[in-house]
Structures are given as structure tokens and as C-alpha cells.
Structure 1
Amino acid sequence: MNDVSVIIPAYNEEARIEHTIKAIRRIPGIHEVIVVNDGSVDGTSRIAHLYADVTIDIEKNVGKGNALLVGWRMAQGELIACVDADLEETASELEKLIVPIRENRADLAISTIKTGEKAGFGLVKRRAQAIVYKYTGMNVISPLSGQRVFRRKWLTLLLEQEYRGFGVEIKMTVDFILAGAKIIEVETCMAHREMGKSFAGFYHRFKQWVDIERHMKVVRK
């Protein structure tokens, strides 16, 4: 049964996106792979056009939230998967999220990774967990995880929302819970590229923090 649409928002991921797509292709049940190239200035678009079923090129980098919305509107599958572009071979772990949704054990499956958190690097995650609990009363381990699977019926809810940048996952989590969805977190070995204590790493976490706080204002309305 090929019923899964995979949405991959991508920004400057030429070194990794080919491996990510190929790993996803090996998963049973994939109907289509949709890459939303969010204004990349490297070879991401060229590679995506070679390996994805659908590639949507956004001229200017707008942000992950917008890229996902664009991809969701194009998706044809009964199951919708969201996958980050830099997972490479570990993207094959997506299958672990597909199974509980296909078996109707949950409405939304989120990847969580069992790793020892580096000191000083969990601040944004803890802030996101606190926000989800504040608005829903639910403890979610990985509210910032970009790896998710849900059924098509929830697109109606998502396409009515306003999502921006890296805050999309936290607001999406809150939106699902407040709409009565059952959430399951599944341990996987999905792994991003390591940015660590580099400037890129700190900047990424700063952007996450800013986008999360922006989404809080949207949730309050």
C-alpha cells in the first residue's frame, strides 16, 4: 500500500539531501517524496529535481513553517510525513513513525531520540516543553522534533494555521493536542548533522528560540 507523502523542507542541503531521499525510498509504502526548496543558494534544487517526485522551488528563503505549508498543499497521500533534509541514512527510521499511524494507534507520531543531552544545549528544548505543558497540560519529550507522521484528515486543521520558521513544530504540537489528537512519541535513531558549539550551532538555537516565542503570541490569541 503506497499511501505516504513525505514532505522535506530544505535550505542549502546539497551535501545531504540525496542520501536522505534515497533512504526514504527504501521504506515500504512511500507514495511520493516532495521537496520544498526554501530559497537555497547551493545545489539543493538541482539534486532534489533528480531524486524527488515533486520539487517546489521558493525563490526567497521564507522559513520552515511556510515550506511545510506549501508541501502539505501538494501532498496526495493518506499519510503525511514531515522529514528534515539533513538526516541522510537515518531517514529510513521514518518507518517507525509510519507504523503506529497506519495501525490507528495515534493521530500524530513524533520522533524522539534517546541521547545524553550536552550541558547547556537543552535550554531551547526545555522552554518548548514548558510551553506545550502550559497550553495543553501534556508533557511532550520532543516538541521540536521535525520528524512527524499524521493522517491526511488533519491537514484541514494545519492549513488553517499560521506557521513561521523553526517554531512550526511547537505550534503544530499544541494545535494537534488542543484539537483532541492522540500523540505518540517513538524512539528512533534519526540524527541531524552535528553543529555543536560552532557559530552555526548557536545561531540555529537562537533562531529556534525567537521563532518559538513568536509562535507563543499566535497561540495566545
Structure 2
Amino acid sequence: MCELSIILPAKNEAEGLAKTLPTLRHAYPDAEIIVVDDGSTDSTAQIARELGAIVLSSPYSMGNGAAIKRGSRAANGALLVFMDADGQHSAEHIGQLLAKLDEGFDMAVGARDGSGQANFHRGLANAFYNRLASHMTGHRIDDLTSGFRAVRADKFREFLHLLPNGFSYPTTSTMAFFRSAYPVAYVPIPVAKRVGNGSHIRPIKDGIRFLLIIFKIATLYSPMKLFAPISGAFFFIGLAYYSYTFITMHRLTNMSTLLFSAAVIVFLIGLISEQVTSLTYRRDS
């Protein structure tokens, strides 16, 4: 078994791979380099093979997360490095991530600075995700959505069934590691301008998808931290409205009853979600 496998999901990234793969091979000549061709219509697969990478091709696009899962299953290395194929991530920073694994961490993530964000709005969204995830886990999370990371293969494969096929695999894997008490480290890195085609992020569709990440963050780690405040809000709004109607009309209204019922229902859903989450991360020896 080789020690290191470097996995690059790629969709129409022939130009980026032509720049990235030679530097990877020069820096890590003994590493297993896997390019997962996610239904590309250009010469992505051909370029990758010519430059010595192992190529896994899909007949159609399945998504970034699906490419990560396929590459992880095929990899032989005890350590896995995931990075973009568009030239944004540099081989010179891989050593910093691997050094964190040597220190005892199970995952090391390359944390982008402000210049590494695609645009101002994406930067604000990612900052919000980082704050929310930090609150949920009780640990500082510098970059929840960074796709540049190094992990221990055996630990990462425990959560392949949780990973979505789309763009939110970094969020899911990070929260899964924290939930399972696998230590995670962050390494500040600069991010270069991408090479070749524009980003595959679609603003409206993926904007909605990223909004759902907020709920996934909560349900993956501790559902009650999401459901309990919502339940409490319904209860106190109902209590305030009941107090108002009792003082002014001396009666309990349907709206107050509905709000109290909603508080109970949301709280019970939170309890059930907490139990489901616990079973999700259960490991039988």
C-alpha cells in the first residue's frame, strides 16, 4: 500500500490539470495521483493520462462529492489529499497539511483568506457558515467549505455514506469528524486564481443548496441546538400572545394554541433527530 494518494475531482479542467499535475508529480513522485473525470466534454481524461495520473471517468456528471467518493474508494494510500484541479491549490502547501496529520490530527484543512473567496457574497456566506459551525461544535472553524484537505483514509471512509454528491462534501465531512471526536486542524493558505473555465457554481441553484447547508450543519452535529431555540421561540411568542389576549379579551385564542402546539412538535422532532444522529455515528466494535 502506498502512503499517500492525491485525489482531484475534475470537470472540464484540461487546462488546469496541465498546470497542476506536473507540479504534483515533481513534489510527490511516489504518491498515487487520481483524477476523477466527472463527465468532462473536453480533453480532461486524456491530459490526465498523458501526465501519469490514474483516471476514473464517469459517463455523465455526478457532482463534486460523487467524484470525491469514487476517488476515495479507489485510493490505496493510508493518507488522502483532496484538492481542486483548476490550479487554485498548490502542491507546495500539501506538506503543511500532512505535517498536521503527523502531529496527531485526523484531518487538516487548507483555510482560505479573504482573497481566496470567489466573490464578496460567497465570502460573507462562508463567514456565516464558519461562525455557525464554530458555535455548534464549540471549536473554531476557519473554513468550513474548503475542498483542500488531507485526511486519514480509514477515518474518512467511515463517513462516505453521509457525503452528498454535490458541492457540500467539505461541510459534511468536517462536521462528521468533529461529531466523532476526530481532531481537525486548519492551516492558512493562499489561493491562486483558477485556470481555464469559470466556476461550476450556479448562483441561484447552488445558493439555495448552500442555504440548506445551514440546516445540515445543525442536524449533522447536534440537532437540539437548532430545534430547541426554535421551539422556545414558538413557546414564548405563544405565551406573549396568550397574555395579551387574556388581558384584552379574557380568553385563549386558536393562534396561541397553535403556537404552543408548534413548540411541542418542534421540540419532539428535535429529540427524535438527536437520537437518529446518535445512531448515525454509532460504531459497533
TM-score normalized by the length of structure 1: 0.84
| Superposed CA offset, 1:161-199 (max 9, x none) | 23221111111110111010111111223424189xxxx
Answer yes or no: is the 8 Å Cα contact 2:83–2:148 preserved in 1. yes
Mapped partners of 1:84, 1:130: distance in 2: 24
Asked if the contact 1:36/1:55 (under 8 Å) is kept, the reply is: yes
Letter in 2 for 1:179: S
Which secondary structure does the structure 1 equivalent of 2:164 belong to? coil
| One-letter amino acid of the structure 2 residue matched with residue 7 of structure 1 | I
Native 8 Å contact 1:3 1:29 kept in 2: no
- Residue in structure 2 matched with residue 179 of structure 1 by the alignment: 180
35 and 96 in structure 1: CA distance in 2 versus 1, 3 angstrom threshold: same
Root mean square deviation of aligned Cα: 2.7
TM-score (structure 2 length as normaliser): 0.67
Aligned to 2:246: none
Q: 1:204: how far off?
A: 4.2
Structure 1 unaligned spans of 5+? none
2:143 matched residue in structure 1: 142
- CA displacement at 1:131 relative to structure 2: 4.1
Match for residue 122 of structure 1? Answer: 123
What CA distance in whole angstroms lies between the structure 1 residues aligned with 2:126 and 2:89? 24
Instruction: Describe the shift of the 1:52–1:177 C-alpha distance in structure 2 as closer, same or farther (beyond 3 A).
Output: farther
Larger Rg: 2
For structure 2, the residue ranges without an aligned partner over 5 or more in a row are 224-272, 274-285
Q: Which residue of 2 aligns with 1:83?
A: 83
| Contact 2:109 2:186 (C-alpha < 8 Å) held by counterparts | yes
Q: Give the drift of 1:133.
A: 2.8
Bigger share in strand: 1
Q: Aligned pair in 2 of structure 1 residues 181, 89: CA closer, same or farther (>3 Å)? A: closer
Query: Which residue of structure 1 aligns with residue 54 of structure 2?
Result: 54
Distance 1:209 1:108 in 2: 27
> Bigger relative contact order, structure 1 or 2, given CA contacts below 8 A and separation 6+?
1
Secondary structure of 1:193's aligned partner: coil
Which residue of structure 2 aligns with residue 10 of structure 1?
A: 10
How far is 1:99 from its partner?
Answer: 1.7
Distance 1:210 1:17, change over 3 A: farther
Cα distance change of structure 1 residues 202 and 63 upon mapping to structure 2, 3 Å threshold: closer
The range that moved more, 148-157 or 169-178, is 148-157
